[in-house]
Amino acid sequence: MKIIVANLKMNFNLEENIVYKNTIEKFIQPNDNVIVCPSFPFLSFYNNGNYSLGAQTVSEYDKGPFTGEVGARDLTSLDVEYCLVGHYDRRKNFSEDGATIVTKINKLVENGITAILCIGETKEDKSSKKTLAVLQKQIIEIFNKISPEKYKKIIIAYEPIWAIGSGNICDTKKLNEVVTFIKNFMVKSYRTNITVLYGGSITEFNVGDLNDIPNLDGYLISSSIINPKSFESIISNCR
């Protein structure tokens, strides 16, 4: 079973979360490898289903006078097991850089939470055939500053920026090349096996083709899983 990370982003209010949660819990089975990442106010609402609980971001700080922030130890107390870090939304809209991402990963891992590190290239990078070089640089920027004992608590999510919300999915041959590159680079440079996910315009209609990529461990999905029927179809295709 592929890993499916459902990033709900900021899409549901309380009433909508109630309907959504009740619906997805009818079709998510105990053996499904699903991680649900709701917005902060509803984390405790989702912590007792047939899925793992994930957060969408975390503070750089443990505790203190940081109005509006949520720390890793707060997430741990809510039984959060996974947390997204470095998502393009955060890099673009909140100016998160490599140093910030490293700090967040360290806070998460030190509190027993697995970090899902998002990396990806722009349309210009892709056109210039710089994809692998860009991804390698992004990996080095993070892993060179993290101690090796923490590597096992990190997952890499490859999300090409040009594919996010575009309706255009990465070509399966190219995606296989990218996933293989990331895994080989991690073994060669950091002596660790890494779990690699893909995100970017995944739907119930194309996930079947992606399932044929042998080295790909799962998916990070946003738009398609907002519709419970699409979410159910994606899970069924991944079983």
Which positions ≥6 away from 118 have C-beta within 8 Å?
A: 84, 85, 86, 87, 88, 157, 159, 199, 220
pLDDT at 47 (0 to 100): 84
- One DSSP character per residue, 58-121 reads --SSSSSS-TT---HHHHHHTT--EEEES-HHHHHHS---HHHHHHHHHHHHHTT-EEEEEE--
pLDDT at 237 (0 to 100): 94
pLDDT at 12 (0 to 100): 97
pLDDT at 135 (0 to 100): 98
**Residues of the chain scoring pLDDT < 70:** none
Does 159 qualify as catalytic in the annotation?
yes
Given the residues 96, 121, 159, 204, the one annotated as active site: 159
pLDDT at 162 (0 to 100): 86
pLDDT at 181 (0 to 100): 98
Total count of residues recorded for the chain:
239
pLDDT at 193 (0 to 100): 97
pLDDT at 166 (0 to 100): 75
Q: Domains of the chain by range and CATH?
A: 3-238 (3.20.20.70)
Does 96 qualify as catalytic in the annotation?
no
Given the residues 87, 96, 121, 204, the one annotated as active site: 87
Closest Cα partner for 6 from 168, 235, 213, 180?
235
pLDDT at 13 (0 to 100): 97
pLDDT at 170 (0 to 100): 87
Closest Cα partner for 156 from 112, 187, 111, 129?
187
